[in-house]
Amino acid sequence: MVALGKGERSMWLVIAGVVIVGFVIFMVAKTAAMNNDPRSQELALRLLAALAESKQPRAKSYRLVKNDDGTTSYDPPMPRDIIQGWNDVKKWLVTETPDKSPSQRTTMVAHALSMIKSQMDRWDFANFHGFARNWDGYST
């Protein structure tokens, strides 16, 4: 085994440092570009809208229902299914980004989720995160 001299070690440290700094600069620039992309911003808003709609009661909520024992009660409000909102988001994203590959679409969803994570509770984030991980980026 050949031992590196003091000058050679510092040269390799400088090269490694330049590579790491270059990678960080590239990733920050890429994230900034995704933040400024109007489609990414629209995607984040659509994800938040799907989440908000899933929390709202449906129009046919609070119907008066006759129970089996002869009593009556109101149906509780039924929120719009979050899966239906996710499907709407997927359809929009596929039609709006024909120039993107499926992996780029899933990256867009991951980035949009990271943008709105602070506005979601843990359970809702886990729901959307699971949907995004299982989506192939193409099918609607």
In whole angstroms, give the CA distance from residue 138 to residue 135: 8
Rounded (to 5) percent helix, strand, coil in the chain: 70, 5, 25
Rg (CA), the chain: 24
In the three-class reduction of DSSP (H, G, I as helix; E, B as strand; rest coil), residue 131 is classed as helix
User: What pLDDT was estimated at residue 33?
Assistant: 78
Domain residue spans of the chain: 1-36, 38-134
Q: What is the mean pLDDT of residues 7-26?
A: 89
Cut 0.95: pTM above it: no
User: What pLDDT was estimated at residue 102?
Assistant: 92
DSSP letter (8 states) at residue 56: S
| Sequence letter at residue 47 | L
User: What pLDDT was estimated at residue 53?
Assistant: 81
Q: What are all long-range contacts of 121-124, with beta carbons under 8 Å and residues at least 24 apart? A: 124/51, 124/82
Give pLDDT tens digits for 101-137.
Answer: 999 899 899 999 988 988 888 888 888 888 888 888 8
Contact 85, 54 (CB under 8 A): yes
Residues 6+ apart with CB under 8 A from 115: 35, 40, 44
Judge whether residue 81 has pLDDT over 90: no
Closest CA to 89 of 73, 106, 77: 106
